[in-house]
Amino acid sequence: MTNAYDEAYQRSLDDPEGFWGDAAEDLVWIRKWDKVLDDSNAPLYRWFAGGELNTCYNAVDRHVDEGRGDQAAIIYDSPVTDSKRTLTFADLKDQVARFAGVLAAHGVVKGDRVIVYMPMVPEAVIAMLACARLGAVHSVVFGGFAASELAVRIDDAAPKAIVSASCGIEPGRIVAYKPLLDAAIEQASKKPSCCVILRRPEQPCDLIEGRDIDWAASIEGAEPADCVAVAATDPLYILYTSGTTGQPKGVVRDNGGHAVALKWTMKNIYDVEPGEVYWAASDVGWVVGHSYICYAPLLNGNTTIVFEGKPVGTPDAGTFWRVIDEYKVSVMFTAPTAFRAIRRDDPDGAFLGKYDLSGFRTLFLAGERTDPETLNWAVEKLKVPVIDHWWQTETGWAIAANCMGLHAFPVKPGSPTKAAPGWNVQVLDDDQQPVKPGDIGSIVVKLPLPPGSLPTLWNAEQRFRDAYLVDFPGYYKTADAGFVDEDGYVYIMSRTDDIINVAGHRLSTGAMEEVLAQHPDVAECAVIGVADPLKGQLPLGFMVLKSGVDRPHEDIVAEVVRLVREKIGPVAAFKSATVVKRLPKTRSGKILRGTMQKIADNEDYRMPATIDDPVILDEIGESLEEIGYGKGRA
């Protein structure tokens, strides 16, 4: 007996042009496409070739034209500045059109690049949409990135303009952006024609005459700009993601396929209706912020929340519940690491009792693998479905998910459920042969990728081919390892780099992390493979304990070693673990396992540009020395 998911999934593989052509009818097109899927330059595929539209019109103006002008489009909530603001769709249209007029007055036209280097404020979304309005290509760089990293992105994108702010605000500190921006432009060989600066009251800044423009003054008298028709295959944005060479990869997103796919996901994956409040607690600097703070909710006529705060500490572990209650959020999307932090600070969920979450339907998690302990805790406390789903910067939306708007499958903790429609997910061995259900291998996606995924890398087509298409001809290499079970559920165990080889046995560090997370004193954990002269590699665990745990660390280590032996077996050779205060992470919440491995093996490493707090690496080094790794290694 089939269900709506089975029917949609099968049709998306058997008839991708019919499936996505129907989905595209939900958008307003200036010119219909000539061909839904252009395969004339395979394996480089393009969607909706010949079509023309404007993404900003579909995300903003359309809703005003169709009578939603008075509905809230953006709710800004900033516990770090104690401020709140709401923009209706009519307000948003006015602000976006005016800011597009500012950019146009300074020479920005279709095809030009604009770098956006902003904190989590509505103006960041306004700047993105203004670029889309003009057909300019935005490249959002996470606010506060080091000047050297920003300079690399300036040189690669060659922006006509840069939009920034005087500062970003973190709990307990202000991060001055303007000095970083000035230093980056000085270092870059390609200089922007102008910079538009949002001067925040928390950190005034001076403007450089002849280059810098004040946001508030310029937008006040700006001539509103109309939407510009662009080809469906024209780039909407460039989003840089880390590359193995140290040179970031500029993931390109097109206008047509991106809008079609994201609009489709809001109902079919997230089960959200127009008019509802949807909250992605992320940052516009990451792909989640692009897809699910800015574009998808607005394309679907939802209210989106721009939240400038943290899951804990602004002011406490009840912040998320306060926002859900105050704005009547129906569906939320955040990273598992946020819930690990909440669970660590409030393991009993005491803060939940202070708020009314009766209208909250579903929690979605992504960004890093959701361990079963965190998922089960969230289900127990929230009493709503908690859905793990898996995707990447490159894909733009979920590869695998429990598609709640099609058919809600039973949740299997540890799995993001099944491949989403459009994604032909397979598991191959090193000889490019399919593996049996349940066996770990490289997870790949049969080409063509669905709309919304990257068509190429910015000015680097050969690098795109080499990074994603060469190792498994006819497939996209995800660089994730895992398996698919007999029911078709996908399991992402680790990056392929995190499959360790212990005396010839290929073992998943993710499976070991699942075991460590089951210990009642462990809030979050990580497992890496360290070099061993006898066995090649050995696993090493790191544990952050829950708030209030004061038992001897050696007892907890002994218990988790025993647990791994019981659950996975002696073959894992898991004998070492250490308790740390915190784990080094990117600002999007991903644990820097590769960097930790280099510290443990006493190898040189490059400071990750995305690291949340570099001091943590010193703490990790000290903990490793105490157990004989890193600089303390014999």
d(CA 111, CA 100): 14
In degrees rounded to 5, what are phi and psi of residue 237? -155, 165
Which amino acid is present at 313?
G
Tens digit of each residue's pLDDT (9 = 90 or more) over 174-192: 999 999 999 999 999 999 9
Final residue of a domain: which of 425, 453, 482? Answer: 482
Higher-confidence position of 592 and 63: 63
Q: Do 226 and 289 share a domain, yes or no?
A: yes
pLDDT grade, residue 397 (50/70/90)? very high
Q: Is the pLDDT of residue 243 over 60?
A: no
d(CA 583, CA 171): 18
pLDDT grade, residue 33 (50/70/90)? very high
In contact, 54 and 132? CB cutoff 8 Å: yes
pLDDT grade, residue 147 (50/70/90)? confident
Q: Is the pLDDT of residue 258 over 70?
A: yes
Total domain count, the chain = 2
Q: Is residue 382 part of a domain?
A: no
Q: Is residue 192 part of a domain?
A: yes
In contact, 402 and 429? CB cutoff 8 Å: no
Specify the range with the lowest mean pLDDT, choosing from 19-28, 61-70, 114-123, 619-628: 619-628
The pLDDT assigned to 537 comes to: 81
The pLDDT assigned to 603 comes to: 87
Q: Provide CB contacts within 8 A for 608, sequence distance 6+.
A: 242, 586, 592, 595
Q: Is residue 379 part of a domain?
A: no
Q: Do 124 and 247 share a domain, yes or no?
A: yes
Q: Do 468 and 565 share a domain, yes or no?
A: no
Residue 43 preceded by cis peptide, ω within 30: yes
Range of the domain at 81: 4-309+389-482
Q: Is residue 316 part of a domain?
A: no
Q: Is residue 367 part of a domain?
A: no
**Mean pLDDT to the nearest integer, 499-526:** 81
Q: Is the pLDDT of residue 244 over 50?
A: no
- Residue 432 Ramachandran class (φ > 0 left, ψ -120 to 50 alpha, else beta): left
Higher-confidence position of 569 and 360: 360
In contact, 306 and 297? CB cutoff 8 Å: no
Q: Is 363 helix (H, G, I), strand (E, B) or coil?
A: strand
Q: Is the pLDDT of residue 618 over 60?
A: yes
> What is the CATH classification number for the domain harbouring 572?
3.30.300.30
The pLDDT assigned to 41 comes to: 95
d(CA 286, CA 392): 10
**Mean pLDDT to the nearest integer, 6-33:** 98
Mean pLDDT for the chain? 93
d(CA 269, CA 261): 11
The pLDDT assigned to 508 comes to: 72
Neighbour count for residue 433 (Cβ, 10 Å): 8
What pTM was computed for the model? 0.85
Neighbour count for residue 190 (Cβ, 10 Å): 13
Higher-confidence position of 295 and 247: 295
Q: Is the pLDDT of residue 572 over 60?
A: yes
Q: Is the pLDDT of residue 245 over 50?
A: no
Specify the range with the lowest mean pLDDT, choosing from 230-244, 255-269, 409-423: 230-244
Q: Do 449 and 548 share a domain, yes or no?
A: no
The pLDDT assigned to 613 comes to: 78
Angle between helices 615-626 and 593-600 (to 10 degrees): 40
Final residue of a domain: which of 451, 482, 513? Answer: 482
The pLDDT assigned to 598 comes to: 87
**Mean pLDDT to the nearest integer, 334-357:** 93
Q: Do 565 and 454 share a domain, yes or no?
A: no
Final residue of a domain: which of 449, 482, 515? Answer: 482
Q: Is residue 475 part of a domain?
A: yes
Which amino acid is present at 424?
N
> What is the CATH classification number for the domain harbouring 165?
3.40.50.12780
**Mean pLDDT to the nearest integer, 69-97:** 98
The pLDDT assigned to 138 comes to: 98
The pLDDT assigned to 504 comes to: 57
The pLDDT assigned to 590 comes to: 78
Q: Do 101 and 175 share a domain, yes or no?
A: yes
Q: Do 609 and 578 share a domain, yes or no?
A: yes
* DSSP assignments along 78-136, one per residue: ETTTTEEEEEEHHHHHHHHHHHHHHHHHTT--TT-EEEEE--SSHHHHHHHHHHHHHT-
Would you mind telling me the total number of residues written for the chain in this entry?
634
Q: Do 418 and 566 share a domain, yes or no?
A: no
**Mean pLDDT to the nearest integer, 308-330:** 97
Q: Is residue 352 part of a domain?
A: no
- Residue 378 Ramachandran class (φ > 0 left, ψ -120 to 50 alpha, else beta): alpha
Distance of CA 154 to the CA centre of its chain: 22
**Mean pLDDT to the nearest integer, 101-129:** 98
Q: Do 414 and 302 share a domain, yes or no?
A: yes
Q: Of all residues in the chain, what percent carry a pLDDT higher than 90?
A: 75
Q: Do 101 and 248 share a domain, yes or no?
A: yes
Q: Do 169 and 106 share a domain, yes or no?
A: yes
Specify the range with the lowest mean pLDDT, choosing from 246-250, 267-271, 432-436, 581-585: 246-250
Q: Is residue 584 part of a domain?
A: yes
Q: Do 442 and 516 share a domain, yes or no?
A: no
